[in-house]
Amino acid sequence: MGQTNELSVEERLANLKARSRSHENEVAQLLSQPSIQKTDFSLPVPSVTALPVEQIEPPRPSYIPVPEPVSPSPEIVREVQSFTRPSKSNAEGNPQVDLDGSKDIKQAYRELYTPKVPNRIEGYYFGPILGLVLSKDGAVREGLSKNDYSSDSGFLLGVQVGKDFGDVRAEVEYAYISFDASTSNRGSLSASIHNFFTRLILEKELGDRFDLRAGIGMGVGIVGLEDSADYNGAGFAYDFILGAGYRLADNLSLQLDYRYYLTAANDGYDHMKGHIWLLSAGLDL
């Protein structure tokens, strides 16, 4: 039994040795074979074909025709002469126009920046008044007797101060009216009236410079009539106005107006009324 076991162990050792030799032979056989080539993982370089380079020409400048010289018209020559001053004279004694910048710079700037059409400036203004008075006939009274008179033409002098709101003007005015009259019984009669008025005027623009105006004025009239006796009194007075305005400059305007004037009656005289043609100026403040 023990012999059998020893033989089996020997057999096993023999088998193991045989296998070891077989394995060594296989390894030696493998090592005797040529080495394995390494794999090249680098990408191939693409071949580039050189393209012909086109010659780019720079753009040619476009042709700009040179204008032919044109002689200035006589109107342009006169306008240039008006802006310049003569400095030299030619052989014939005629002044030559100096175009080298010797013109009056201030005048050139003034005419360049001055607007052709004056602007309307809203705000305060004042100005004088001058008028022609065509007073209607009236009468003076002494008690129950009545003495008629015939009026002659007279004049009006005054001053006004107001404010322009655009389409509406509000102003105050003092005016002195004077005219003469003749009576059938007592001869000549001298009238003088002091008026203190407030006035409201509506205006409508007609074009760049003209305005159409209409309004009403109210106030107090202090009346004095003198002949052999004096007739004095104060009372309510009013007038209606219709006229037109013209702007000369940004801060200056002229007005031509028609007024119908009326005062209250008094114990010594009847209503005093008449037509007044007025010329007034407005200077903006």
120 closest CA partner among 14, 190, 238, 207:
207
In a domain, 141, yes or no: yes
Backbone φ and ψ of 87, nearest 5°: -125, -25
What value, to the nearest 5°, has the Cα angle with vertex 246 and ends 200 and 178?
60
pTM of the model: 0.59
Q: Count structural domains, the chain.
A: 1
In a domain, 153, yes or no: yes
In a domain, 69, yes or no: no
In a domain, 262, yes or no: yes
In a domain, 223, yes or no: yes
In a domain, 280, yes or no: yes
In a domain, 217, yes or no: yes
**For residues 241 and 255, is the Cβ–Cβ distance under 8 A?**
no
**For residues 127 and 284, is the Cβ–Cβ distance under 8 A?**
no
**Which CATH number characterizes residue 207's domain?**
2.40.160.20
pLDDT tens for the chain, 285 residues long, are 444 455 677 888 888 888 888 888 887 777 777 766 677 777 777 766 666 666 667 777 666 666 676 666 676 666 666 655 444 445 455 555 444 455 567 776 666 666 667 777 788 999 999 999 999 998 888 777 888 889 999 999 999 999 999 899 999 999 999 999 988 776 788 899 999 999 999 999 888 889 999 999 999 999 988 876 788 889 999 999 999 999 988 889 999 999 999 999 888 888 899 999 999 999 998
Domain that holds residue 269: 123-284
- 15 CB contacts (<8 Å, ≥6 apart)? none
User: Where would I find the beta strands (DSSP E) of the chain?
Assistant: 88-89, 95-96, 123-135, 138-142, 145-164, 168-183, 187-206, 210-226, 230-249, 252-263, 273-284
In a domain, 47, yes or no: no
